[in-house]
Copies of this chain bind each other. A is one copy, B any other.
Amino acid sequence: MQVLTRFGISLEKKLLKNFDRHIQGKNYHNRSEAIRDLIRKELVNQEWAEGKEVAGAITIVYDHHKRELMGRLTDIQHDFNQLIIANQHVHLSHDNCLETIVVKGKAGEINKLADKLKSQKGVKYSTLSIATTARTL
Interface residues of A (CB under 8 A from B): 1-16, 18-19, 22-23, 26-29, 31-44, 46, 55-57, 59, 61, 63, 65, 85-88, 90, 92-93, 95-96, 98, 100, 102, 104, 115-116, 118-119, 121, 124-127, 129-137
Contacts of A96 in B (CB 8 A): 133-134
The answer to whether A61 and B55 have CB atoms under 8 Å apart is yes
Contacts of A124 in B (CB 8 A): 40, 132, 134, 137
A92: which of B2, B10, B55, B125 is its contact (CB, 8 Å)? B55
Q: What secondary structure prevails in chain A residues at the interface with B? A: mixed
With contacts A22-B46, A55-B98 known, what are 20 further pairs, Cβ within 8 A?
Answer: A4-B10, A7-B11, A9-B9, A9-B31, A9-B36, A11-B39, A12-B137, A14-B137, A15-B36, A33-B121, A35-B39, A57-B100, A61-B131, A85-B98, A88-B102, A90-B102, A92-B134, A93-B135, A125-B131, A125-B132
Q: Supply 14 A–B pairs (Cβ within 8 Å), ascending by A.
A: A1-B65, A7-B8, A8-B8, A15-B43, A27-B119, A37-B119, A40-B125, A61-B132, A88-B100, A88-B102, A92-B133, A95-B134, A124-B134, A127-B129
Contacts A86-B88, A115-B26 hold; do A35 and B33 have CB atoms under 8 A apart?
no
